Each structure stands twice: as C-alpha cells, then as structure tokens.
Amino acid sequence: MRDHCKSKVKAMGERIAGKVRINNAGCLDRCAQGPVIVVYPEAVWYTYVDQEDIDEIVESHLARGKVVERLKID
C-alpha cells in the first residue's frame, strides 16, 4: 500500500509536488486498529482497507486539506 500511495502522490504532480513525503515507519503502537497512516503536521490518524481508501486520503486530505472522517481513528 505504501508503494501505491507513493505512486498516487507522484501521479498528482504539480498539485502536491514538494508538499508531501511518503515515509515508511515501524510500529506505531496501534496494531489493534489495523494498518494505519498518520498525516503530519495535523497528526490525523487513518486506517484503510484497500487502494480506494488510500486514493481517498491522498485526494481529499493531502491534496485538498479535507479530513476523511470515515477513515479517521482516535
């Protein structure tokens, strides 16, 4: 999924070029909540199921600054 996310961001080109960096991380201590993504500097945590969820996070939050409430976790 990380590779898919990186490809999606790269494909968006100028819209988010230089504004987003996709990093790999070790344990984030949220294993019980499934796979997670955290977006900084807002510190918004997401879980996801498939590539469509990743696409929604990239297009909504990373490109437009709008939190994807349905995927957000505490």
- pLDDT confidence of residue 62: 95
CATH topology of domain 2-73: Glutaredoxin (3.40.30)
Phi, psi of 72 (to 5 degrees): -70, 140
Q: Which amino acid makes up residue 56?
A: E
Q: How far apart are CA 68 and CA 54, in angstroms?
A: 10
Identify any residues that bridge with 47 across adjacent strands, giving them in sequence order. Answer: 36
- pLDDT confidence of residue 27: 86
pLDDT tens track for 18-35: 889 999 998 899 988 899
- Give the pLDDT band of residue 14 (cuts 50, 70, 90): confident
pLDDT tens track for 35-66: 999 999 999 999 999 999 999 999 999 999 99
